[in-house]
Amino acid sequence: MVTLEHYLILSGFMFVTGVVGVLTRRNAIVVFMSIELMLNSANLTFVAYSSFLGNVIGQLFVFFVMAVAAAEAAVGLAILIAIYRNKATLNIDEINILKW
């Protein structure tokens, strides 16, 4: 029997994986993938609660999150292409003209 707790533990694990990925990985694309993981863990939480509470608002929110994540991916990859054309690297340790 899969209960709400299972979903929440899975989504919490996904969220933490995403946060750790953002903080430790150095390739900008991998960092971006980790961020997508964080957004998807939120989606899973929404859907799980929506089903558990018998309330569709949570599932509606997920559609908005997916649409926005797609828009963000488009802009993000465009930024990565622009920076790759100028610097030929996506390692965020080497993108450091401005002091962190």
Partner 1 sequence: MNLTSTDYLNILPLLLVGAGILISLTVEMYSKKSVGFLSWFSFLLHLLVAYYSLYTVNNVSSVFGGMMGTGGTVNIFYFIFNFGAAIVALLSMDYIKKAEIYFGEYYILLQSAVLGMMLMASATDLVMVFIGLELMSICFYVLAGFQRKNVRSNEASLKYFLLGSFTTGFIVYGMALIYGASGSLNIQSIFSMLSAESTPILFYVGTLLFIIGFCFKIAAFPFHMWVPDVYQGAPTSVTAMMSTIGKAAAFSALLLIMLPLIGSKNPQTFTPLFTVLSAASMIFGSIVALAQTDIKRMLAYSSIAHAGYMLIGLAAANDTGASGIVFYLAAYAFMNLGAFGIVSLIEGNGDTEGTIESYAGLSDRNPLLAGLLALFMFTLSGLPPFAGFFGKYYVFIASLEAGNVWIAVLGALSSAISAYFYLRIIVVMYFRKSDVASDNIITESHTSLLGIVISAILVIMMGLTPGSIVRLINSF
Shorter beta-carbon distance to partner 1: residue 1 or 85: 85
Shorter beta-carbon distance to partner 1: residue 6 or 52: 52
- Other C-beta atoms within 10 Å of 19: how many? 15
Q: CB of residue 74 vs partner 1: minimum separation in angstroms?
A: 9
Q: CB of residue 67 vs partner 1: minimum separation in angstroms?
A: 9
Long-range contacts of 76-81 (CB under 8 A, 24+ apart): 76/32, 80/28, 80/29, 80/32
Shorter beta-carbon distance to partner 1: residue 1 or 92: 92
